[in-house]
Amino acid sequence: MKNILIMNTGTGWGGLEAWFYKTAAALQKRDYNIFILAKTDSKFYYKSIAQDFNVTGIDHIGDGTFLNPARIGFLVKYLKKNKIDAIFLAQSSHFKYGSIAGKIAGTEKIIYRRAIAKPIKNKFYNRLFLKYFITDFMSISKITRDMNLQDIPAGVLDKSKQKLVYKGVKKDNFLEPEIKFDLRDEFEIKKDELILVNIGRMCRQKAQQYLIEALPKVIEKHQNFKVLFVGKLGGKENKYKKLAEELGVKDNVIFTGFRKDIPSILKQADFMVHTAIYEGGSPWVILEAMMAGLPIVSTEAITIPEFVQDGVNGYLAENKNPEDIANQVIKMIENKDRVKMGQKSAEIAAEKYTFKKMIDNIEEKIFNKTLN
């Protein structure tokens, strides 16, 4: 039975914390002992305690923590005392700190999971840690991996250490979800109107304004549709509502606010429109829409083309281009094989992006375990 350490000192609850928590819980069910080093009083700290992980609170880990002998000594002692076989690191600061301590402690597996599509700086210590300290460099997409390593000289990170493990969605949650609210009844959407859905918090990254700006051109050809903007409204709510009114499209848009019934919403939608200007890795909403069997219109936000294949399970539009977004939305509305596109989404997701597949890949690729 292996002892696995997950180290995370974020104070909030985001995609990284959710991934760590769900992955750790799944590995725990497969008879791994899970140890957690987390920021005391954080949500991740308390949820990990509730999950019955072995939890210890620690101070924040910053960019300079790896230069602190006392902090290094603490972690080395912790790794040895708890006989840690593997340590998962994610943030850059944790990578530097954890890889040094893990190397000194003789930890068998030092895993750097990189989920953001930005280059690793070509610093001496980064090259040192990548070449000699970590045992596995875990990427969540091919594009993410290539961008991470674009400034790192060839030969520094051996290809045998590079492991591709896509994020995974729990299939059963999206195949036949409970319909908690009938969207057509709730928002008075007519039976002959298509339901387009955009999911994500209202913010600069998700860039919903480009979809709103695309709608006048769509309406010139098609009027029977509603776009549901699902997500925390934040400071963009009034701006986006005003924009919709100014452009004369307010009757075609609905701002639902934050919702917990995403599987139910996806099941009732006709297709997804995603207009983010950048994505760090593989966005959950894309994988969830695919698992739910939706075709997708999306901007070409860095990693998206690895998941949305133009003409196969969706259409890709140029980033920040309302006219092209409108063209692709119109093309999807007029596509008589739209349902088949959605089926292709579901097939790809079932083959590559299930949660079980992700956990299996971790066991096989990281821990070299042969599964039946």
> Are residue 211 and residue 285 in the same domain, yes or no?
yes
Cα–Cα distance list, 127 to 95, 102, 334, 337 (Å)? 12, 16, 51, 49
CATH of the domain at 302: 3.40.50.2000
Q: Does 293 map to a domain?
A: yes
Give the list of residues 6+ apart from residue 66 with CB closer than 8 angstroms, or none. 72, 93, 96, 97, 100, 125
What is the domain count for the chain? Answer: 2
Q: Does 19 map to a domain?
A: yes
Q: Does 347 map to a domain?
A: yes
What pLDDT, on a 0 to 100 scale, did the predictor assign at position 302?
79
**Contact status, residue 49 vs residue 83, Cβ threshold 8 Å:** no
What average pLDDT does range 62-82 have in this prediction?
Answer: 97
> Are residue 120 and residue 268 in the same domain, yes or no?
no
Whether the per-residue pLDDT at 14 is higher than 90: the answer is no
> Are residue 56 and residue 131 in the same domain, yes or no?
yes
Q: What string of DSSP letters covers 61-94?
A: P-TTGGG-HHHHHHHHHHHHHTT--EEEE-SHHH
Q: Does 247 map to a domain?
A: yes
Q: Is the pTM of this model over 0.85?
A: yes
User: How many other CB atoms are there within 10 angstroms of residue 83's CB atom?
Assistant: 12
pLDDT in tens, 108-126: 999 999 988 899 999 999 9
Beta strand residue intervals within the chain, DSSP E: 3-8, 33-39, 54-58, 86-89, 109-114, 136-139, 162-164, 194-199, 225-230, 253-257, 271-274, 296-299, 314-317
Q: Does 345 map to a domain?
A: yes
> Are residue 158 and residue 253 in the same domain, yes or no?
no
> Are residue 184 and residue 71 in the same domain, yes or no?
no
pLDDT in tens, 154-190: 999 999 999 999 999 999 999 889 898 999 999 999 9
Q: Does 372 map to a domain?
A: no
User: How many other CB atoms are there within 10 angstroms of residue 290's CB atom?
Assistant: 29
Q: Among 264, 85, 300, 88, which residue's Cα sits nearest to residue 186?
A: 264
> Are residue 33 and residue 149 in the same domain, yes or no?
yes
d(CA 298, CA 301): 8
Which has the minimum average pLDDT: 8-22, 71-85, 144-158? Answer: 8-22
> Are residue 128 and residue 228 in the same domain, yes or no?
no
d(CA 99, CA 84): 13
Whether the per-residue pLDDT at 204 is higher than 80: the answer is no
d(CA 253, CA 245): 10
> Are residue 185 and residue 56 in the same domain, yes or no?
no
d(CA 32, CA 359): 12
Q: Does 93 map to a domain?
A: yes
> Are residue 121 and residue 176 in the same domain, yes or no?
no
3 state SS of 21: helix
d(CA 321, CA 120): 29
The residue behind tokens 């250490």 is: 161
> Are residue 10 and residue 144 in the same domain, yes or no?
yes
**Contact status, residue 253 vs residue 227, Cβ threshold 8 Å:** yes
What residue numbers bound the domain in which 142 lies?
A: 3-168+354-366
> Are residue 215 and residue 158 in the same domain, yes or no?
no
The half-sphere exposure of 156 on its side-chain side, counting CA atoms within 13 A, is 19
What pLDDT, on a 0 to 100 scale, did the predictor assign at position 273?
97
Q: Does 371 map to a domain?
A: no
**Contact status, residue 151 vs residue 120, Cβ threshold 8 Å:** yes
> Are residue 25 and residue 46 in the same domain, yes or no?
yes
What pLDDT, on a 0 to 100 scale, did the predictor assign at position 316?
97
